[in-house]
């Protein structure tokens, strides 16, 4: 299914208000079998901005589409120059309390799985296992000609060699690892080809306007079918790639719970939306359940 390049949506006037009551989330996790669906909002406390929240990157940055990337050598030069610089900062990000709480819930058998729309690898760095990366990962690079996969760190080394002295100052870093640079700053950047066949390299992520691999989508649908409840963390659910799983769960009569400070496109399907910071909310729930996060336990309620 093609991921539409939807950048925004207009909330309906009849969306239910958010709450600060964490009891529904606590109860669902206590019962177990919860499937987590996370978005960019869970990584903001790690220093990675989200797309649409307050101060989100879409206020200053339009993500490159798959069509732009594949059609234009100039677009690929801009992407790789900005992505190369962004990778240095992006790669230094560390899991925050929200990621660590999700990992703790998994270790204690409360989750049936984790699907993330993020490409930052922070769930895995926090200790979550079996994470489904819906939109891929910045840790890998794929050749559009021969399909060869290679580690991003190898490409970073090749780009360093080809662009000695490339040290521009970026205005900001975006959720896709793209740094904000001007055309003048990227004009002399050299892009390197696939080391296997000389083809065009692309990060192994789903760009706006690109299709999520069908087998990956079906795997996620199966996880939704097997779950007792769906817990959405830090996603506006603006794009259909995540919203479809919320609709699937709701249509099957499974409770959908959302923790997101702003309204989301899935609020009408949710039992409740908790409008609290994710790190605070999830560590509070962990304490209520007596689940230790980073070795710090909490009394059960």
Q: Is 242 annotated as a binding residue?
A: no
- Residue whose token pair is 């390197």: 192
Q: Is 109 annotated as a binding residue?
A: no
- CA-nearest of 83, 121, 126, 108 to 30 is 108
- Classify residue 57 by its DSSP letter: G
230 annotated as belonging to a binding site for a ligand:
no
Residue 41 in marked binding region? yes
Q: Is 51 part of any known ligand binding site?
A: yes
The answer on whether 21 is annotated among ligand-binding residues is no
For 113: left if phi > 0, alpha if psi spans -120 to 50, otherwise beta; the answer is left
Whole-angstrom distance, CA of residue 258 vs CA of residue 249: 13
- The helix (run of H) or strand (run of E) holding residue 142 is strand 136-143
- Is 171 one of the annotated binding-site residues? no
68 is in an annotated binding site: no
Is 112 annotated to bind ligand?
Answer: no
Buried-exposed string 89-99: b where 16+ CB fall within 10 A, e elsewhere: ebeebebbbbb
Residue 173: which of 75, 278, 95, 85 has the closest Cα?
85
**Is 40 annotated to bind ligand?**
yes
Helices (H), the chain: 23-31, 66-71, 73-90, 97-107, 122-126, 152-162, 183-186, 214-226, 240-251, 278-289
Cα radius of gyration (the chain): 20
120 is in an annotated binding site: yes
Give 25's contacts (C-beta < 8 A, 6+ positions apart): 231, 257, 259, 272, 274, 281, 285
The count of residues in the chain is 301
Q: Is 295 annotated as a binding residue?
A: no
Query: 86: annotated binding-site residue?
Result: no
Provide the token pair at 290.
């007596």
The answer to the question of whether 234 is labelled as a binding residue is: yes
Q: Is 117 a known ligand-binding residue?
A: yes
Check the annotation: does 130 bind a ligand.
Answer: no
Please report which residue ranges of 91-199 form alpha helices under DSSP H.
Answer: 97-107, 122-126, 152-162, 183-186
* Catalytic (active-site) positions: 135
The annotation status of 46 as a binding-site residue, yes or no, is yes
**Distance from C-alpha of 165 to C-alpha of 185, rounded to nearest angstrom:** 12
Q: Which residues sit in the known binding site for Zn(2+)?
A: 143, 146, 194, 197
Q: Would you list which residues are annotated within the binding site for NAD(+)?
A: 39-59, 117-120, 234-236, 278
């Amino acid at each position: 299914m093609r991921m539409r390049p939807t950048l925004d949506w207009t909330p309906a006037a009849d969306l239910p208000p958010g709450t600060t009551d964490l009891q529904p989330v606590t109860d669902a996790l206590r019962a177990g079998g919860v499937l987590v669906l996370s978005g960019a909002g869970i990584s903001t406390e790690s220093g990675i901005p989200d797309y649409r929240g307050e101060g989100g990157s879409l206020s200053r940055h339009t993500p490159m589409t798959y069509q732009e990337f594949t059609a234009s050598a100039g677009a690929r030069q801009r992407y790789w120059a900005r992505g190369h610089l962004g990778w240095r900062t992006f790669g230094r990000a560390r899991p925050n309390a929200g990621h660590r709480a999700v990992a703790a819930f998994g270790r204690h058998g409360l989750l049936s799985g984790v699907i993330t729309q993020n490409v930052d690898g922070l769930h895995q760095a926090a200790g979550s296992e079996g994470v489904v990366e819906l939109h891929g990962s910045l840790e890998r690079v794929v050749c559009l000609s021969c399909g060869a996969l290679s580690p991003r760190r190898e490409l970073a080394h090749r780009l360093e060699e080809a662009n000695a002295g490339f040290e521009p100052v970026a205005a900001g870093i975006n959720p896709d690892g793209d740094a904000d640079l001007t055309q003048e700053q990227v004009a002399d950047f050299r892009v390197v080809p696939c080391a296997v066949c000389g083809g065009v390299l692309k990060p192994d992520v789903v760009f706006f306007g690109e299709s999520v691999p069908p087998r990956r989508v079906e795997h996620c649908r199966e996880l939704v079918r097997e779950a007792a409840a769906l817990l959405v963390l830090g996603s506006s659910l603006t794009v259909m790639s995540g919203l479809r799983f919320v609709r699937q769960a709701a249509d099957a009569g499974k409770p959908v719970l959302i923790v997101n400070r702003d309204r989301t496109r899935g609020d009408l399907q949710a039992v409740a939306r908790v409008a609290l910071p994710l790190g605070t909310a999830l560590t509070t729930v962990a304490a209520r359940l007596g689940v230790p996060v980073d070795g710090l336990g909490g009394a059960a309620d």
